[in-house]
Every structure is written in structure tokens, then in C-alpha cells.
Structure 1
């Protein structure tokens, strides 16, 4: 049986004026999963619990059982994952729960249905009404959290809709996953499954909330133009007027037969927008020799081949640059980053860094940040003690 919690967060919850969030990971084979989760979650007196597990079928039942034991009015929101980030770093075969104390957090939840069909006008009306009724206290930190269906393939439009509807609001999030099976994902609110939907939360807190983003790639001089594509299915058909997979293999210097997720993770395609590089991660090779992506793509897009930079020290430096040590970092980390770390033998090193900075969350099929849907990136929200003047 495995049961762990972020001890420093629990300690802060007992010693600080503002109760701090807690996180706990429990192996799904634990015969008393709910009891093991509750022993840590109840320390926070939560108004919100986030649940992440790669076994989607367990989520709804777990949330119902937790709701029966947690304080009345506690929102329990979750989604399926491609792996979890718990108090000891990367984990698998677990359920990871984050408890946000009602004494220092306030939350609202809305379900954006039919993500696959992108009903943008309907979403906009719903989001405006939702924000108006939430009536955020602008003296506190306020941000949005998006848990999208990673198989609906329309996170780009969804994030752009949020940006247009709520300009200036920091929004982070992750695309719900299904391990490495790329099948059906699940989103859950208070025991009710919402397949094919995106969950959007408005969260208000007394803590200082600081956005974190890190990608471990830089662009090389090798460029390719998308000369044919299937945008609806996020598939590149041709690069440089050649079959996409063949041209990608040539640019990467690897054989066509060796194109696997670990190789995609080492050699990403990069889109330059303004001064930012955005990863266009490859999910797989189609039967016709195309490249299926995890983000949108259009004909005429210029892409560069990426090269790996330091995956661990760079992340530790980014976290160390925060104004103060975080009590918790709610984190969303692309599954392809995890695969790259595993291939490089650096998974344990990254797990130690996650534990040091109290990162908790899940591995995704894509990340949402700054009005963009990105891949092979870590995005998060760090909760910092307020600076004492």
C-alpha cells in the first residue's frame, strides 16, 4: 500500500493564518482508497478536491464516496490522466487528490459540453453568465482552470474562446488523457461523468498565485513547410511537398521504422508565434504516412525541428525564480515530457524536484496557458504565501 502526502503543506495548514492546500496519492489497489485519501484531505477542510487517475472508470465512484465523507458543499472535480504527479513526484496506478481549504479558496465550476462540436457562441454566453454570477473579489488572486477532453481535438478553439470571453484572466489547464491508449477520457463533477466535455473552474484565493511555464526545447535551423494537412484531424499529410512521416524522419536523422513516442518526444516540431516557441507534439504516424499531432495545424505553417535542452536543472531554475517558496504548485505536465525523461534515465531526478517544490497534478495530452494550447510543456499555478510588508 502506498499513501503519501505533502507534509510541508499540512504543516503550513496548522501553522499559518491561511489554511494551505494538501495533496495525497494512493495506489488504486489499496483496499481502503477512500479512507487513505480522507486521512489527508480532511486536514484541509476542503471546499474543492481535484482528482486525477489514469483509470477513468474509477473516478466517478471515488468522487461519490468522497462526497459522502467530505464537508457539505465541497466540489469534487476530476479527469482521467496519462499518469499522476503526487507528493513524491511522478506516479502511476494511483489516484492523486488535491484538497483546497474553504478557508482560503473559493471555487465555481461550469461544464462546457460537446467539445467535439465546438459550440462557441453557446460557450461564450455560458461563460459570461458564469463569471458574472461568480462575482470575483478582485482583492484576491483569481484564475481559471480548464480540464479539457484531450480526445475531442479542439482545445485550440476552446482556449481561444476563453481568452476572448475573459480577457486578462490567467487560465491554465491540461487535456484529460487515457494513459497511452488514446481512447476515451473522462471528466467528473461531484460523481457525475461528463464525457466529451471540458470543465472550467474559477478559483479565488487569499494566496498569491503565480503562473509557471517551462519547455525544455530550442529550435534548430532545420525547417519544414506544411504543404498538405487535414486540420480537422490535426494531421500533417505533407512536409516540404514530401510524405510527412518520411520528411520528418529525414530531418530528425532517424529511420521511418523508428518513429515511436519516445522519438517524437526527443524531436518535436516547433511553431514560432511572436517571441514564443510552441511545441506541436506528434502523437503518431497514420497508415497513409501522415503525422497526427496533439495540436492544431494549417497548410502553410512553417515548423522547425526542436532540440532537447536541460530537462531538470532548467525546471529547477524556473521554480527557484518564484518570489517565495510555494506551498503547492498545481501542475500539468505533458506525457511526452515524462516519456523523454524516462528514456533519458532522469525520471527520478525530476520527481525529486517536483517533491521539493510541492508540485501535484497529472500528465496530459496537452496544456493550456496564455490563451494557447501547447504540448511537451509544463504549466502550473504556484500558491505562495502573501508577502509581509
Structure 2
């Protein structure tokens, strides 16, 4: 589908070029991407891969399709394109050389994470990537979404990067939960995480929001396998049965949609973070998408109106009151499941188009040193007006 974006009423961003292909053949899809990005020489490209395309076949085709480009990316559980939510799109975001510089490193074999090695590798990258006066820095992290290591990894990155903010998303695999991978130097890697250190002359701000509020229903994890993010008992009862009782559905009807609409929350000070449930494990266990431990106090969450919170969360401006040039978004796949079930996909996609959001559906989100779930995390980039202070 060459020229797939030409029929959209879409205001293109100035600092990035976006290309999308729906072709089922990886080599042909990359050829379409190359054609749409013709005449550009970006600093780097982010590639968000749908689960129907083979990462190995994409990697084999990359050298001929994009021979001079620096390409990073990951597999996904869905994409956010200029059309909004999609499932089968190969998305390329080309970051203009005039606005962006990048350095990267790969954390391989992250199960288990070595905090000391991550901190040292991160500090070394930051030292070697010399700062340009007048420009700002941020970091993006793309991690294997099945590694169960993001909580520790992001905390280590926060220590290594110090005052550089970190945002990102965990790679996905549709709803298969079999193999998730990150892309660097023409190769896809699982059990790995990709860190990008980015320098830009644009101003930017981080976004992070969900649509849940705590209820009066409390539960305590009474038996867990923390290294597997697995809960076997809640309130002294089999975990799946107790959770089903609290959300008032038969245990046989538990599903990703039920988990999406009835998350559990963990309180940190005055802030509640979502600890999303991935799936039932065996007959009675529950596998989570974030860190879990014995004795952890959980609160059942109740959803607020999801489109309204999306509206308010994306409604950011710079100091001059201008909207973002674009928003790079990392959106939990469970949010999309809930939006789909409620028939709100068209409305959500319209909001993404209006705010020029581009990104992917994740297995978890990273926001300022914390690994979260069922959250939209993003970075809004603004092009300063001529003469405006940075």
C-alpha cells in the first residue's frame, strides 16, 4: 500500500517523517518504507514491527532496503500510526538529522539484570556521547517484554543516567506472549534491552497517565514467586479464584479483557501505579506484568472514562501555548483491549491523530525510573518559535 498516508487529513510533523506499510511480505514492506522516506537522510529511524512480520526476514532485508540508515526498534502488540490504533502496520519514524543526535547501547542477557553492569554501561555511554551546548537530552528504553526484568532495569538506568529523563516501552508480541525482541545494528535480540540516548534542539515534556482510581477492595499477596511475577495466593486463597470473587465474575470467564478493566493498584506515597495481570498461570495462579512479592498490599482499581482521560492527558502545550510537533507514545496493550471492547477505537484514534501521536502498544511502560502498566507514557516534542527561549 504505497502512499498509505496520502489520503489522510493529517498534519505532518516537521521534526520527523513517518512511513507506514501494510504489506505482508517483509522485504516488500521495507521497500515501501524506503520509498516513503525517499529524499530523507535522518539521524536515525525507529521501526515498530507488527507480530505478523518475521523479525528474521526483516533483518535480512534491512541492508538492501535502508542501506545508509541507522535503524532501531522492537516488536509490538499493536501500533499507533497517523490513522490511530492499528495491528498490522510496519511503522517507521525517521528523526530529522537537523534536530536529533543519538547514541545507543544494548544490554544483552538481561535475565537476570546486573545492576552494576547496567549502571556502568549507561554511565560510559553518557560520557562518550559528548553534549552539544544549548541542546537537551533524554533517553528511550525498549526492553524484552517477556524478560520480567524491567523494574530492576529501569531503576538501574535512573541511577546511571542521573538527571537525564528515561521513557520507553516493553516490546510486544501481539497477544501471543511467546517472543519479544529489540532491534539494533540490523539484528533482533530477545532477552535484551536497547537504550537510546538522544540529544535534541527541540523542547520536550514527558507524559504519563492512566484512567483508574482505587476502590475499597483490598487484597494481600500471601504466596508469590517474585522472580516469575507469579502470584499463587491472594488473601490466603487461590489467586485466580479470589481475584474472580472480588471482580464478581466466574473464574472460568477471566480473560485479558477482564484483567484490563479490573486492574490491581499499588500505592506509592499518594500515587497509585497499576500492576496489570497478564494471564492465568496453571489452574489458580496469576502472572503479572510488573514486580510482585509476598505481603504486597493491592487495591482493586475502577476505571474512569478512558476517552476523557486520553483527551486531558494529551492536551499539552509549550510555554508559548503551542501544541506538540509530535508525541512519541508507548501505550499498554491492555488499554487498547479495553478501548476495543467498549467500541471506542475510532474515538481514541481520532485523539491520536489530532495530537500527532506515533508509537506502539506495549507489554509495559517505563516512566521516569518506574516500570508501570496500563498507562500511556509519551514524550511530547515542540519546535520553539523563532527567537523563543529553549
Alignment TM-score, normalising by the size of structure 2: 0.92
- Structure 1 residue aligned with 2:33, among 37, 56, 72? 37
Gaps of 5+ in 2: none
User: Does the CA contact (< 8 Å) of 2:260 and 2:337 recur in 1?
Assistant: yes
Give, in angstroms, the shift of residue 361 of structure 1: 0.8
User: Does the CA contact (< 8 Å) of 1:224 and 1:302 recur in 2?
Assistant: yes
User: Does the CA contact (< 8 Å) of 1:220 and 1:307 recur in 2?
Assistant: yes
3-state SS in 2 of match to 1:115: coil
Distance 1:152 1:330 in 2: 23
Distance 2:200 2:67 in 1: 19
2:341 matched to which residue of 1?
343
3-state SS in 2 of match to 1:116: coil
- Asked if residue 315 in structure 1 is aligned to residue 316 in structure 2, the reply is no
2:47 matched to which residue of 1?
51
Give, in angstroms, the shift of residue 243 of structure 1: 1.2
- Asked if residue 101 in structure 1 is aligned to residue 96 in structure 2, the reply is yes
Distance 1:220 1:54 in 2: 36
Give, in angstroms, the shift of residue 76 of structure 1: 0.1
The answer to which of 248-257 and 48-57 deviates more is 48-57
Give, in angstroms, the shift of residue 290 of structure 1: 1.3
Count of residues in Structure 1 that have an aligned counterpart in Structure 2 = 381
- Structure 1 residue aligned with 2:295, among 284, 297, 300? 300
**Following superposition of structure 1 onto structure 2, how do residues 4-15 of structure 1 map, counting pairs within 5 Å?**
4=5, 10=12, 13=14
1:345-379 CA distances to partner (integer Å, 9 max, x unpaired)? 10111011111111111111000002111000010
Alignment TM-score, normalising by the size of structure 1: 0.93
Gaps of 5+ in 1: 14-19
1:259 matched to which residue of 2?
254
3-state SS in 1 of match to 2:292: coil
Query: What stretches of structure 1 move > 6 A for 4+ residues in a row?
Result: none
Distance 2:140 2:258 in 1: 31
Distance 1:50 1:64 in 2: 17
Cα RMSD after superposing both structures: 2.0
3-state SS in 2 of match to 1:4: coil
User: Does the CA contact (< 8 Å) of 1:149 and 1:187 recur in 2?
Assistant: yes
Cα 1:136–1:63, aligned 2, differ >3 Å: closer, same or farther?
farther
Give, in angstroms, the shift of residue 71 of structure 1: 7.3
3-state SS in 2 of match to 1:318: helix
Distance 1:353 1:141 in 2: 28
Distance 1:331 1:350 in 2: 13
